[in-house]
Amino acid sequence: MGVALFFGAVVAPAAFGVVRSFGLPNASEIAGSIVTRTLGVVNVAGFVIALLLLVTVFLRRIPQGRISFIVECVCLGLIVLATGVGHWVIAARMRALRVAMELPIDQIAADDSRRIAFNALHGYSVNALGIAMIAGLVALVLMGRGVRH
C-alpha cells in the first residue's frame, strides 16, 4: 500500500513534471513509458502479496470475529482483482492503443477516438489502484486488530 501511495503521489507526477520541463515534443510519451513500467511493478507486487496474504489468512486462524475475517478476505480479494485487472487488462489495452496511435500521444488530437479511449482507460487505472489502496488500508487495520488479541 505504501508503494502504491508513493507511486501515485510522487513518482508519476515527478516523472511527468521532470520530463515535460525539458520541452520535448513527446514528453508525455516518455513520462508515460516510465510510469507504465513502474506501475507494472506496483501492480504485480500488489497482486502477488495480496494473493499470498489471502492464502495465509486461512492458515493463521487468529481468533477474530467472523465479520472481520470476511471483510479482510474481501479486501484482499479486491486487491488481487484490482491490481490484476489494472495490470493485465487496463494497462495492456493502454499499451495496445499507444501502439495503434503510431505517433506519440502528445501529437494525437484530443478528440481522436483512440486518445479518448486511452484517457478513459487511464481513469480506470487510477480508480483500480485507488480501490486496491483503500482495500489494503482496511485489510491492514483488520490484520493489526487480529494481532493484538
State the 10-residue block means of pLDDT for the chain, 149 residues long: 92 96 94 95 97 90 78 96 98 96 92 96 97 96 75
User: From CA 1, how far away is CA 138, in angstroms rounded?
Assistant: 11
**Which string of DSSP letters, residue by residue, matches 52-90?**
HHHHHHHHH-----HHHHHHHHHHHHHHHHHHHHIIIII
Backbone angles phi, psi at 108, to 5 degrees: -95, 135
Task: Count CA atoms closer than 13 A to 107's CA, side-chain side.
Answer: 10
The rounded distance, in Å, linking the Cα atoms of 24 and 145 is: 50
Distance of CA 75 to the CA centre of its chain: 15
C-alpha cell at 3: 508503494
pLDDT at position 63? 64
pLDDT for 62 equals 63
pLDDT of residue 1: 83
